[in-house]
Amino acid sequence: MPRPHRYAQIKQLLHQSGAAAYRYQQVTQAYFAQRTARFEEMGALPAALRQQLASQLGSGFSLRVAQVSHSGQADKYLFELQDGQRIETVAMRYRAGWHSYCLSTQAGCGMACRFCATAAMGLRRNLSADEICDQALFFRQRGFPLDSLSFMGMGEALANPNLFTALDCLTDPNLFGLSPRRLTVSTIGLPNAIERLSRQHPQVNLTFSLHSPFEDQRSQLIPLNLRHSLTEVMACLDAHVQRTHRKVYLAYLLLEGVNDSREHAAALAQLVQAPGRCSRLYHINLLRHNANDFAAERYARPAEAHIQRFRQWLQEAQVKVTVRSSFGDEIQAACGQLHAAVNPLRA
């Protein structure tokens, strides 16, 4: 069973110690208003209580910054966890002033997608809910607005049950207080976890990494498709749409000569517009491939003119489609490039 997040443990410990109810408010104010993450520094609390919290719950923060890499609109943070594992988190700045953060949910990943550097690490372990939330807390405490969070960093988010505890924490009005519509969960297709997300967090945005409309080819790119077929996952997404009436985003990574033909575009349109499917609530996001040195296969990005042509084919078929911006590829911070344990770091 997933461990409760830190704030639930604090509340329980304070109750067991007989502390006044307002002490919990003082702790959360220290975290979220006064930007204090260490129990020892929470001056509003009696010294004995600070010592008790620190001795039973540790320092109060689970991450240590090992290195930061900068680029024009993205910064990549290498965090070291308390057991020595490492993860990467990406902070992005849009010209309109929007701040977005790509959070990791696992150290490594066990899904073995052929195009992804993180997959080459294998799965080291799931992150705890605190380790997930502390990536957001790191930026919150430094005064950066948490305009949007996406669980698209290292790992398959829905393979980690601690994600749901983290979502509870992030949307709790007494803690982070984020609107669920500012959160996006990305998955390569785990039906049971998608159904759980639909029930527990129906307003959280959902992105499905599709990458091919053909079952055989998708199984080659994403081995999980052998266990949970595209047909099965799409049926689960249809149920999610019917339950939540929310849009689902289909991420489609364009790989030159692999999945970028007109035949692929036609099959993709047919998939979205299948009889009985609410096509108006499916939106395709075309992604540019970002080269890395660790993926199981070396793929190339199509020419920009061809990317736009693929988009046009989908638009001609009356499919809603966007070519997504890509930030941070020069510092190995873009989609598919995160590889914290081995990747040489650039300051």
Q: Where are the domains of the chain?
A: 6-57, 63-331
**Residue 342: predicted pLDDT:** 43
Phi then psi for residue 296, to 5 deg, are -65, -25
Partners of 209 in beta bridges: 251
Partners of 148 in beta bridges: 100
- Confirm if 140 and 146 have CB atoms less than 8 A apart: yes
**Single-letter amino acid, residue 37:** A
Q: Is 88 one of the annotated active-site residues of the chain?
A: yes
Fold of 6-57: DNA polymerase; domain 1 (1.10.150)
**Annotated catalytic residue within 88, 102, 109, 113:** 88
CA 101, 60, 5, 337 dihedral sign is positive
Query: What is d(CA 205, CA 41) in angstroms, rounded to the nearest whole number?
Result: 36
pLDDT < 50 regions, the chain: 342-347
**Annotated catalytic residue within 102, 116, 169, 335:** 335
- Confirm if 39 and 315 have CB atoms less than 8 A apart: no
Fold of 63-331: TIM Barrel (3.20.20)
**Residue 1: predicted pLDDT:** 67
Beta strands in 219-323 (DSSP E): 248-254, 282-288, 321-323
Partners of 206 in beta bridges: 185, 248
- What is the bridge-based pairing of β-strands 74-81 and 63-70? antiparallel
**Residue 240: predicted pLDDT:** 98
Query: What is d(CA 59, CA 83) in angstroms, rounded to the nearest whole number?
Result: 14
Q: Which of 228, 223, 144 is nearest to 191 (CA)?
A: 228
